[in-house]
Every structure is written in C-alpha cells, then in structure tokens.
C-alpha cells in the first residue's frame, strides 16, 4: 500500500496525503479525517522516510570508523556490528563513514551534509580533531573511547588502565618479577590512541607498585607482527616470564613465537590481557583475560546518542566498563630454576 492508493480512495492528490502525514501544511479537518479514515481502513503504516519527514529527522545514524585502507580488527568489527544491531532495534539505519587518511571529505559530509541525526565515533585519540569538529557543529555524537579531557561529552569506554593494572597484579601474585606489555602499533601510540596510552599508564603504575621489572613494546595488529614482536622480546629481555596485552589481533602470532621458542603456556610463560571473548577462548590454552563487552558497549552508545537527539540540552553521560578478569588457563606460577 502506498500514498497514491490512499489519495485515489480519498479523492485527493498525493501531495495532500503527504501534507497530512508530515504535518507540514494545514489541511481542512474534513479532508484530514477522510484521509485518516482510508489510512485506518487500509492499516497503512508510513515507511521510515515518511516518518522521518514528519519528525524532521533522517532516522539514520552515522558511524565513523577507521580509514578504509586499514583492515579492521575483530574488536572494531564487533563494535560496528553492535552499533548496527542496536540501531536496527530502534528502526534506524546506519551510515558508515571512514575518517582519517584520505577520508576527511567523507567525515565532513557526515558532519555538515544533514545526512544523519547523530554520530557514533570510534577509535578516539587523546586529542581528537574529529571530536572538536563535532562539538563545534552541534551535531549530536557519542564516542566509543574518550579524549584526555572528556568533560561535556557522552562516551562509553573500557578501563584499559585499571584492567591492565589488574593483569599485572595477577601476574605478580603468581610470582612473576619480569613482565612485559605488548601494546598496539607504534603508529597508533604516536597518534595518541587512547587505549594504548591508558594501558601503558596502568602497566607502569602496577609495575612500580609491585616493584617489578617491566618493559613495554609496540606491535602491529596482525599475526606476523605478534610473532616478530615476541621473538624479539625473548631475545632482548630473556628474563621476562609473562606478558599482558591489549593487542588481541597479535595473539595468534604471540602464541606461535612462544611455541617456536619451546616455551609452554603457562608452564614456562604466562599470557594475559584485555580481549574479545572469542579471541581469549581461541587461544591455547584459553586466555586469562578481561573480556570486552562489545555488544553491550555498542548498545549503550546508541542509547546515549538517542537521548541526546531527543533532548539536546541533556547533561552528558558516560559509562566506563571494567569487566572482571576471567581466570582461564594461560597464567600460572613463575617457574623457579
């Protein structure tokens, strides 16, 4: 059923039906009632475009993702899926837009093109020009991650500092005295990527508190980088007996390097960190880790954004997730020689 059929049965023009549906123009009460009677008889439900016209909205959310030239990690894909799923539950569409690199024009179209009602922004830097731009335009937005000064904005994030610190304390409780942090790539750290800097801060604080020897290394988001990183770590810091990591994409390579060096996990070497649950469970043996609640975080980001769209003057809200560390099988007492 469409507007044309309603117009034919009510004996009016299509534009008159549109005016009744959108409320944009005044229509005589008698005509409005006649059209409404046909709508009720046919059980007509306006599609999303008609509802959006009536509400003055697009019923579309923007999701700003990392540059298309980069392969998204499983965690990033998980956040994308969780936002799309949450939006669908509210009968909303999602427009994906890469940012950074050669994609500044795509982001600018999202910001200024009136294509979306609000934006979810991923992969936040401590100093992030995209956040500044969105704040200046007044377009509603929520971030997955947060800047160094996140006052006055709504966000959801993982407590990387606290979680990595807890991983270090767990290793120290098992007797490990020489530990390492396998971070994200050097490029991300140099760009001020929030999780990397907060994980490093938590690592350094816990190492100092427990009087441990700690080393941090950067690692690309792939298997080959993980293997090369741990191979180098074992050569340059042979005393290290355990690592904590936030680089889940490097985990298969880290495991390969340890196996290649003849080290068993956790008999000879312990591994822990922050990762998506399926990465942790696929590790052999299963990884002791804080499992990132991607689905919950995406849903919360969409819920916060819809609050802002509905009430632009509302007080910004945020949520910092600190999931428990699931004790699986990849950490154990340090081996004494």
Give me the residue spans of the domains in the chain: 3-55, 60-158+294-321, 160-292
**Answer CATH for 60-158+294-321 from 3.40.50.1820, 3.40.50.2300, 3.40.47.10, 3.40.50.2020:** 3.40.50.2300
Are 245 and 271 spatial neighbours (Cβ–Cβ below 8 Å)?
Answer: yes
How much of the chain exceeds pLDDT 70, in percent? 93
Specify the pLDDT at position 53. 46
**For the ranges 58-67, 83-92, 186-195, 316-325, which has the lowest average pLDDT?**
58-67
Q: What's the whole-number average pLDDT of the chain?
A: 90
Q: Where are the alpha helices (DSSP H) in the chain?
A: 3-10, 14-22, 29-42, 48-55, 74-89, 104-112, 129-137, 160-173, 186-190, 194-210, 223-236, 251-260, 277-282, 294-310
pLDDT in tens, 59-102: 899 999 887 556 788 888 999 999 999 999 988 999 999 887 66
CATH 3.30.70.260: does it fit domain 3-55? Answer: no
Specify the pLDDT at position 56. 59
**Mean pLDDT value across residues 249-276:** 97
**Mean pLDDT value across residues 171-179:** 98
Distance CA 156, CA 177 (A): 34
Q: Judge if the upstream peptide bond of residue 269 is cis by omega within 30 degrees of 0.
A: no
pLDDT in tens, 207-237: 999 999 999 999 999 999 999 999 999 999 9
Q: What angle do CA 216, 219, 222 make, to 5 degrees?
A: 150
pLDDT in tens, 22-70: 666 788 889 989 988 888 888 776 654 455 545 557 889 999 988 755 6
Counting every residue written for the chain, the total comes to 337
- List, in sequence order, every residue forming a beta bridge with 154; answer none if it has no partner: 142
Are 88 and 145 spatial neighbours (Cβ–Cβ below 8 Å)?
Answer: no
Specify the pLDDT at position 19. 79
pLDDT surpasses 50 at 253: yes
Nearest to 162 by CA among 215, 221, 209, 218: 209
Distance CA 6, CA 18 (A): 10
Query: pLDDT class for 327, splitting at 50, 70, 90?
Result: very high
Q: Which of 64-68, 102-106, 266-270 has the highest mean pLDDT?
A: 266-270
**Answer CATH for 160-292 from 3.40.50.1980, 3.40.50.2300, 1.20.140.70, 3.20.20.70:** 3.40.50.2300
Distance CA 205, CA 202 (A): 5
Query: pLDDT class for 103, splitting at 50, 70, 90?
Result: low
Specify the pLDDT at position 337. 60
Are 285 and 68 spatial neighbours (Cβ–Cβ below 8 Å)?
Answer: no
Specify the pLDDT at position 49. 46
How much of the chain exceeds pLDDT 90, in percent? 69
pLDDT in tens, 140-160: 999 999 999 988 899 999 999
Q: What are phi and psi of 154, to 5 degrees?
A: -100, 135
- What the block records as the tokens of 316 is 């910004």
Q: Do domains 60-158+294-321 and 160-292 have the same CATH topology?
A: yes
Q: What are phi and psi of 63, to 5 degrees?
A: -125, 110
């Amino acid at each position: 059923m469409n507007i044309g059929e309603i117009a034919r049965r009510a004996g009016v023009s299509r534009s008159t039906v549109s005016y009744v549906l959108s409320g944009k123009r005044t229509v005589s009460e008698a005509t409005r009632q006649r059209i409404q009677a046909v709508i009720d008889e046919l059980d007509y439900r306006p599609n999303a475009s008609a509802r959006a016209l009536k509400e003055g909205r697009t019923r579309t959310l923007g999701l700003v993702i990392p540059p298309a030239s980069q392969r998204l990690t499983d965690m990033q894909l998980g956040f994308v899926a969780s936002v799309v799923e949450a939006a669908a539950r509210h009968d909303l569409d999602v427009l994906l837009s890469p940012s950074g690199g050669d994609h500044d024009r795509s982001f600018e179209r999202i910001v200024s093109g009136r294509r979306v009602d609000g934006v979810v922004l991923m992969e936040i830097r401590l100093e992030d020009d995209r956040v500044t731009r969105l704040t200046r335009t007044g377009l509603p937005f929520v971030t997955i991650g947060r800047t160094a000064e996140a006052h006055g904005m709504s966000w959801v994030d993982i407590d990387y500092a606290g979680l990595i610190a807890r991983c270090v304390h767990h290793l120290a409780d098992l007797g490990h005295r020489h530990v390492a942090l396998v971070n994200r790539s050097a490029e991300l750290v140099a760009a001020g990527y929030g999780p990397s800097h907060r994980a490093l801060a938590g690592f350094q604080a816990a190492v100092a508190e427990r009087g441990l020897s700690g080393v941090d290394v950067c690692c690309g988001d792939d298997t080959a980088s993980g293997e090369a990183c741990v191979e180098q770590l074992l050569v340059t810091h042979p005393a290290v007996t355990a690592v904590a990591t936030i680089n889940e994409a490097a985990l298969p390579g880290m495991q390969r390097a340890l196996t290649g060096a003849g080290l068993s996990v956790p008999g000879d070497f312990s591994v822990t960190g922050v990762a998506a649950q399926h990465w942790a469970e696929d590790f052999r043996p299963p990884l002791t880790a804080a499992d990132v609640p991607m689905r919950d975080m995406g849903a919360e980001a969409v819920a916060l954004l819809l609050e802002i769209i509905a009430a632009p003057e509302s007080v910004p809200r945020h949520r910092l997730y600190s999931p428990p560390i699931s004790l699986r099988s990849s950490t154990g007492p340090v081996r004494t020689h």
